[in-house]
Chain A
Amino acid sequence: MNVYVKSTIPLAEDAALEKNPVSAEIEFCNVTKMYGAVAAVKDVSLKVRRGEFLTILGPSGSGKTTALMLLAGFVAPSKGDILISGKSVAAVPSYHRDQGIVFQNYALFPHLTVRRNLEFPLEMRGMKTANRAARVERMLERVHLNDFGERMPSQLSGGQQQRVALARALIADAPILLLDEPLGALDRNLREQMQGEIKALHKEFGKTTICVTHDQEEALTLSDRIIVMRGGRIEQTDAPEALYDRPTTRFVANFLGEANLLEGSDFKLECEAAQPSATVAMIRPERICIVAPAAPKRADGGQRQSVIGTVDDMIYAGPLRKYHVRVGSSILTVREHVASGQQIFKPGDQVRLEWLRSDVRFVAD
């Protein structure tokens, strides 16, 4: 992660921007933010590496927005300190910090043209007019909006506005990029496209990027690392795949994707290791195979466990088929990819469920 692709936009042709490093390191030291008696963020410590793409993920009320506000300098921590490249910025107002922010609804200035919106951060940094124009032009080109400079923001589509917002956050070459629910306002197809765009921009500019979202898919696709927040605290921090594959708590297991939590089930779960106390066994729906009861068992040296159950219902969802299967008194969710030649089960059918013992996880209750 320490190798940066040099930005295709030549940096620092103006004295005003000369001192900017490409990216910066951010550190939260035991940060607490109180609103009255309520702690929105409780004793949070974290470290963001230079050039890293970190996502703060959580449901509403988890403190993720407050975390972003603290980072942006719109609110000051009640306790603790925030360091950027080793210097405390807890008391530095946002307009003395060096960062680019993409706001939830973009916050493009409605009274200024796209060009003027892009010029704004440069102007505020005292960049010369002549240099501004060229830089804006290159940035517009980079986000494929060459012909849109004279438009008002209201004359742009959602995706175009999003790209202007990104361009405006990146144009001054600030070492930190903050994204607040960057794709929340877009429809599904556009969202996927913009995810790719954001990834490409991150790779190209190498900014330390912190994204706040409640959208798990967004978090999984974009990030180097994800922080899951809950009730103002950090629940778990990990790389996307590790987080999904090995959630440490029931909350994370449920918040990221679907989980079968096997508690109080009639059948004994067979696992490789002994179950630690105060944990619940968990298995992801896509790790379970569904077959006819009579289907031959695979010879796998006893690595699989299988149970017999009855199909409760089947939900068809395009590329996926989802079954709810009743096993004893518990219901397991099973997800399989739709493929040709596959046997389709109806509600009431007897089925056999199989899974690898190594796919069972234990999560803290």
Chain B
Amino acid sequence: MEALQKLGRMPTGLAVPAFAILLVIFGIPIVQLFLISVNAPSFSVVNYRAFFEQGATVFVLFQTIEMSVVATVVCLIIGYPTAYLIVAAPKSVRTTLIVLVFIPWLTSGLVRTYAWTVILGDHGLINNLLLHLRLISDPLPLLYNRLAVYIGMVHITLPIMILPLVSVMQGIDKSLMAAARSMGARPSAAFWRVFFPLSLPGVRSGTLLVFVVCLGFYITPQALGGLRDAMLSNFIAAQLASSLSLAPIAAAAFILLAIAVVMLSIFGLDVSGTPHETAQPLRKSSPYRLRALGRLLQYLYEIGIRYRANRWTVHLYQPIGNSGRSKIVGAVFVLLVMVYLLFPGLVVVIMSFSAGPFLEFPPSGLSLQWYRSFFGDPSWTLAFWDSLQIAVTVAVLSTVAGTLAAFGLSRTYPRLRVFLMMVILTPITLPAIVVAVAAYLGLINLGLIGTKAGIVLAHTILAIAYVVVIVAATLANFDRRLEQAAKSMRAGPVRTLVRVTLPLIRPGIIGGAVFAFIASFDEVVVTSLVSGFSIRTLPLKMLENINQQLDPTIAAVGSLLTLLPVLWLIALYLTWWRSKLKLQGASANQIA
């Protein structure tokens, strides 16, 4: 009882708005969904049995798992050496590379998928080039097959593999490798006996994240794959569009959810055993993405502090062998990965400025005609304004609710915090299609299907997760004694918050808002389910056009969707950089 009263006095209550939204849009519907899937109140497994008795659905299920496993393995094979080489690179190069990996992660997956249709299509970049060089007489069937889907999936998930790997590898004390070598270990032995075991937590989080994201893939198989390359998400979305009964859909969603949850609980919950993680209780407590994101913030900080003394040990004990040839091989490898990650987005942006009557690459001339056609077409501008309005509303709503929640959670019992943090992260941890179906049901409950308010709420549960992650990471670095200091100088709780706490965590709040905006502006899976044909957001309209392949204007749309987040990112970086500068002191050498 006393504990309960104490809890009431803590600012945990600040988390209520965020959890209320989550409960209404996601929590209650997911329970409902489960009840529907078991035909409550009669409770039977008939829907699940039906799922497994149908050859087609079982086929799709196994195909989903197979494709997810293949994509994850390929990601790991490409991602591990890439992360290793990034960490081994000199500091300035390293920071640049991390940002280059980070940028595609932030830009719209839809646009990047579209880019592959442009590159791989019958009249796409590769075929045109080969035809032009007269190496082939007919276009190669590069698109609409399994390989294209893998290319697209790996392209989208690779950053999610690399970033956690880099963050863990950066935390590995390089002197350990030197120590191993001083004890007579050859470089390869030092790597396999020391570095690799220590990097396993990164392998685990990266693999897990990628796998769960892959399970929920929806657009990529649809846009790049053939008819036989459908995944469970496509099946669920198709059912939702055609079928009247929710029960089979609910069962399918829960089967997908079950796979994700089993994977997460087997490999995800054990976060012990890595020294640098235990040093950061908050990061340890909240899995995967939180850790990755917290680190991401640090990367962005790091760009700004060039003047900081170089960590000479890093240079001295670079884990990679120093022979010239291995350096060149490494550099070429990283270059290829970067091209793979960045080129498709770049193609879209460049192509959108082409002057010809069709999309072409490289463009024969530069013009803004596709942008003119974009801004001249009311259906596009309407979609743009709708997207903008929705994204701004989501950003405001989720930043307020998310910041309050992060603040409340930072002041509660550690165990409760871990649990609540996991709950609030579920919308971005589970396969997107499951969240989408739940949100669909939630909005039906509220009668908000096909309204802007409905889309805003559905996006908000995703965006809140990002805001909470980023603000919580900032709060974890915030020295609570500063609040005590303020209070000891007669500042009450409110004045302490306004004068001390908020100004100091402002970079985190702004970062959260930017992420929330981007998350909403790019969102397409959830939106496609809950928009109910009456509202077309920009990505949604673009998705339709990708399938129809009619309007070259979508290159301009894709370019806007790519550039806007990047612009935001630059703005965000400048904000952080400035505040960092201010806190660090403009000139380190003034410190006597």
- Asked if B484 and A110 sit within 8 Å, CB to CB, the answer is no
B591 interface hit (Cβ, 8 Å): yes
A261 interface hit (Cβ, 8 Å): no
Q: List residues of B (482-500) whose CB comes within 8 Å of A's CBs.
A: 482, 484-493, 495-496, 499-500
A-side interface size class? 20 to 34
User: Which residues from B are CB-within-8-Å of A73?
Assistant: 487-488
- Asked if A95 and B491 sit within 8 Å, CB to CB, the answer is yes
B242 interface hit (Cβ, 8 Å): no
User: Which residues from B are CB-within-8-Å of A196?
Assistant: none
- Asked if B503 and A99 sit within 8 Å, CB to CB, the answer is no
User: Which residues from B are CB-within-8-Å of A97?
Assistant: 488, 490
The one of A74, A103, A107, A154 that contacts B585, using a Cβ cutoff of 8 Å: A154
Which one of B484, B491, B503 has the highest number of Cβ atoms from chain A below 10 Å of its Cβ?
A: B484
Could you give, for residues 9-53 of chain A, a 1 whenever the CB lies within 8 Å of some chain B CB and a 0 otherwise?
000000000000000000000000000000000000000000000
- Asked if B491 and A120 sit within 8 Å, CB to CB, the answer is yes
- Asked if A107 and B479 sit within 8 Å, CB to CB, the answer is yes
User: Which residues from B are CB-within-8-Å of A110?
Assistant: 482, 504, 583
Q: List residues of B (503-527) whose CB comes within 8 Å of A's CBs.
A: 503-504
Closest-CB distance, A276 to chain B (whole angstroms): 45
- Asked if B482 and A109 sit within 8 Å, CB to CB, the answer is yes
Interface of B is mostly: helix
CA distance A108 to B489 in the complex (A): 12
CA distance A95 to B499 in the complex (A): 14
Contact of A96 with B481 at beta-carbon distance under 8 Å, contacts A110-B504, A111-B504 already known? no
- Asked if A100 and B504 sit within 8 Å, CB to CB, the answer is no
Which one of A121, A151, A155 has the highest number of Cβ atoms from chain B below 10 Å of its Cβ?
A: A155
B-side interface size class? 20 to 34
Closest-CB distance, B44 to chain A (whole angstroms): 48
User: Which residues from A are CB-within-8-Å of B493?
Assistant: 95
- Asked if A125 and B490 sit within 8 Å, CB to CB, the answer is yes
- Asked if B482 and A120 sit within 8 Å, CB to CB, the answer is no
Contact of A94 with B487 at beta-carbon distance under 8 Å, contacts A107-B481, A155-B590, A155-B591 already known? yes
CA distance A109 to B582 in the complex (A): 12
The one of B484, B503, B585 that contacts A155, using a Cβ cutoff of 8 Å: B585
A90 interface hit (Cβ, 8 Å): no
User: Which residues from A are CB-within-8-Å of B504?
Assistant: 109-111
The one of A107, A125, A154 that contacts B583, using a Cβ cutoff of 8 Å: A154
Q: List residues of B (207-247) whose CB comes within 8 Å of A's CBs.
A: none
User: Which residues from B are CB-within-8-Å of A124?
Assistant: 486, 489-491, 495
Could you give, for residues 175-195 of chain A, a 1 whenever the CB lies within 8 Å of some chain B CB and a 0 otherwise?
000100000000000000000
- Asked if A103 and B485 sit within 8 Å, CB to CB, the answer is yes
Closest-CB distance, A16 to chain B (whole angstroms): 10
Contact of A155 with B587 at beta-carbon distance under 8 Å, contacts A107-B485, A111-B582 already known? yes
Could you give, for residues 146-164 of chain A, a 1 whenever the CB lies within 8 Å of some chain B CB and a 0 otherwise?
0000011011110010000
The one of B487, B495, B582 that contacts A152, using a Cβ cutoff of 8 Å: B582
Contact of A120 with B585 at beta-carbon distance under 8 Å, contacts A105-B481, A111-B503, A111-B504 already known? no
- Asked if B583 and A74 sit within 8 Å, CB to CB, the answer is no
B56 interface hit (Cβ, 8 Å): no
- Asked if B584 and A121 sit within 8 Å, CB to CB, the answer is no
Could you give, for residues 266-284 of chain A, a 1 whenever the CB lies within 8 Å of some chain B CB and a 0 otherwise?
0000000000000000000
Closest-CB distance, B501 to chain A (whole angstroms): 10
- CB-nearest residue of chain A relative to B584? A154
Closest-CB distance, A239 to chain B (whole angstroms): 28
- Asked if B484 and A72 sit within 8 Å, CB to CB, the answer is yes
CA distance A111 to B583 in the complex (A): 6
A252 interface hit (Cβ, 8 Å): no
- Asked if A121 and B484 sit within 8 Å, CB to CB, the answer is no
Contact of A156 with B591 at beta-carbon distance under 8 Å, contacts A95-B491, A111-B583 already known? yes
A139 interface hit (Cβ, 8 Å): no
B592 interface hit (Cβ, 8 Å): yes
CA distance A151 to B587 in the complex (A): 11
CA distance A157 to B592 in the complex (A): 6
- Asked if A74 and B491 sit within 8 Å, CB to CB, the answer is no
User: Which residues from A are CB-within-8-Å of B592?
Assistant: 157, 160
A104 interface hit (Cβ, 8 Å): yes
User: Which residues from B are CB-within-8-Å of A154?
Assistant: 583-585, 591
- Asked if B490 and A95 sit within 8 Å, CB to CB, the answer is yes
A172 interface hit (Cβ, 8 Å): yes
Contact of A104 with B481 at beta-carbon distance under 8 Å, contacts A93-B487, A109-B500, A172-B489 already known? yes
Which one of B479, B485, B489, B590 has the highest number of Cβ atoms from chain A below 10 Å of its Cβ?
A: B489
A229 interface hit (Cβ, 8 Å): no
Q: List residues of B (547-592) whose CB comes within 8 Å of A's CBs.
A: 582-587, 590-592
User: Which residues from B are CB-within-8-Å of A105?
Assistant: 479, 481
- CB-nearest residue of chain B relative to A125? B490
CA distance A108 to B504 in the complex (A): 12
CA distance A151 to B482 in the complex (A): 18
- CB-nearest residue of chain A relative to B493? A95
Which one of A74, A98, A125, A168 has the highest number of Cβ atoms from chain B below 10 Å of its Cβ?
A: A74
A140 interface hit (Cβ, 8 Å): no
Closest-CB distance, A113 to chain B (whole angstroms): 10
CA distance A97 to B489 in the complex (A): 8
Nearest 10 pairs of A and B residues by beta carbon: A121-B489, A107-B485, A155-B585, A154-B585, A101-B488, A124-B490, A107-B481, A157-B592, A95-B487, A94-B487
Q: List 13 A-B contacts (CB under 8 A).
A: A73-B488, A95-B492, A101-B485, A103-B481, A103-B485, A104-B481, A107-B484, A110-B504, A111-B503, A111-B582, A121-B489, A152-B585, A154-B591
If A74-B484, A103-B484, A111-B582 are given as contacts, then 19 extra A-B residue pairs at C-beta distance below 8 Å, sorted by A number, are A73-B487, A94-B484, A95-B486, A95-B490, A95-B493, A97-B488, A98-B490, A109-B485, A109-B504, A110-B482, A111-B503, A111-B504, A111-B583, A120-B491, A125-B490, A152-B582, A152-B585, A155-B586, A172-B490
